[in-house]
Amino acid sequence: MARAAAGCHRGGSQVTLTNGSLVQHNTGTAGGGAIVFGRLNALDTSSDLTGNCSTTDGGGAMVSGGTLFLSGADMHANQAMGATGRGGAIFATGGALVTMTASSFIGESSPCCNAAYDGAGIYADHASIASLGGNSTILQNKAANNGGGLYLANGSVFSALTGTNVGYDGQAGNGNTAILGAGIYADGSAVAFAGRIINNDAANSGGGMYASASAITLTGASVGGSELNQSNSISTTGLNGAGLYLINNTHAWLSNTVISGNTLSNPATGYGGGAYVRAGSYLTATNSQIERHVAPSAFDGRGAGLYIYDSTVTLANTRVSSNTAANLGGGARLFGSSALNVLGGSTFVNNRAGNGVGGAIAGTNAAAIDVNAATFQSNTASIHGGAIYLDSGALDATGWFDFRYNGAGGNGGAVAVSGAGRRALRRAAIGPVIWTPIPPAAMAARCTCPTQPQ
């Protein structure tokens, strides 16, 4: 078994680790295990970089303008020990390229944990990180600040094919941890992802992903899940966006993606179990699902599925279902100058506001809700607006729309518009309008209503 000391691989040079070669238990100022200016290949399951330490950045490796290629190799138990150390396993900078394939692991359950201040697994500064799938996994990395699995900055790109995992569900604790962005933290960068983001835990916000001024594309991806150890989460003292937290003009495009079962747990507050969208950001979801989230605070649990704050969300053939806000806005909450477009066969089904208004949607301030070719069924609110509640802004429903089997403890079994809210319902030639509100007087006798479809 070969054991390599920390080294510099300069422009044009290439080093390959194979046949059980280890880069292990080395210490350096930067790049504890290796500094890569040329190319470093690690090509089998026993040729790992493990237990290395830097006093600044890149506990396992610093890749500066070079290439690191991992095929079946792992990087674990590395540390960037500086007060603001970046990249516990890998610090990639200056146009560097890092590629993972064939079940490469950044992090492990044993020996545990790459660690750093930011980017405990990987910190990318104007660099490209690529996962070719094949069960390549970034797991159980611990950031003292932000970006448990990955921290992307300064125009970095993370591209990941199907078969990539950020976090893992083998056991509890297999996810990544951080204050913001436990799975992925992206600042002024781009993510194109087709794998799973699961089992990550943020102390404050962005359990699965925190993205600021970034471009996010999720295709055939999963954020959270319905099985054991798949939910991304926010701690009991944390705030918002258990699945996704999008801020500062971030643009996110979701296609055939499922955001499911992510967990808010602060008993005092919590917004956006599925996604929290703020400050001029845009989220567009097509053929996707946002489901099974709970905002548990009866005092301030809002927008269990989606919380939209001075931002725009567009849903096309997308299902928002079985989300429960203990306060208001079970499916979605709009606040500030926000817009929600529910289009193209989208559905809100079985959402609930447990101690407030808007079982499916609650809008206030300058909210704009546009409904076209959409279905709202079996949503409930304890007070007003079983499907939609709006006290300021505009609701515009055109084309065909289907409001059935919704219920409210107060006014507007289907829709309640009050205060400065404006409602326009216009039937178009493309289909029927189905409008079945349940008035307050009927609530006491709801057991006599026809059986609702499941």
Q: Are residues 118 and 35 in the same domain?
A: yes
Q: Are residues 18 and 117 in the same domain?
A: yes
Least Cα distance to 167 among 179, 176, 159 occurs for 176
Query: Considering the domain boundaries, does residue 97 fall inside one?
Result: yes
Query: Considering the domain boundaries, does residue 288 fall inside one?
Result: no
Backbone angles phi, psi at 441, to 5 degrees: -65, -25
Instruction: Work out the number of other CB atoms within 10 angstroms of the CB of residue 217.
Output: 17
Q: Are residues 272 and 257 in the same domain?
A: no
Query: With the CA atoms of 201, 202, 208 and 213 taken in that order, what torsion angle do they form, in degrees rounded to the nearest 10?
Result: -170
Does position 367 have pLDDT exceeding 60, yes or no? yes
Q: Are residues 246 and 392 in the same domain?
A: no
Q: Are residues 220 and 335 in the same domain?
A: no
Q: Are residues 273 and 187 in the same domain?
A: no
Which pLDDT does position 1 carry in this prediction? 32
Does position 430 have pLDDT exceeding 90, yes or no? no
Does position 160 have pLDDT exceeding 70, yes or no? yes
Q: Are residues 71 and 210 in the same domain?
A: yes
Which pLDDT does position 111 carry in this prediction? 82
Mean pLDDT of 328-344: 98
Sign of CA dihedral 45, 47, 50, 56: negative
For the segment 212-234, what is each residue's pLDDT rounded down to a tens digit? 999 999 999 999 999 999 999 99
- Tell me if 161 sits within 8 A of 194, measured CB to CB: yes
Does position 450 have pLDDT exceeding 80, yes or no? no
Report the chain's terminal Cα–Cα distance, integer Å.
Answer: 61
Domain that holds residue 252: 1-263
Q: Are residues 241 and 319 in the same domain?
A: no
Q: Are residues 303 and 190 in the same domain?
A: no
Q: Are residues 128 and 155 in the same domain?
A: yes
Backbone angles phi, psi at 443, to 5 degrees: -60, -40
For the segment 280-327, what is each residue's pLDDT rounded down to a tens digit? 999 999 999 999 999 999 999 999 999 999 999 999 999 999 999 999
The single-letter DSSP state of residue 229 is: T
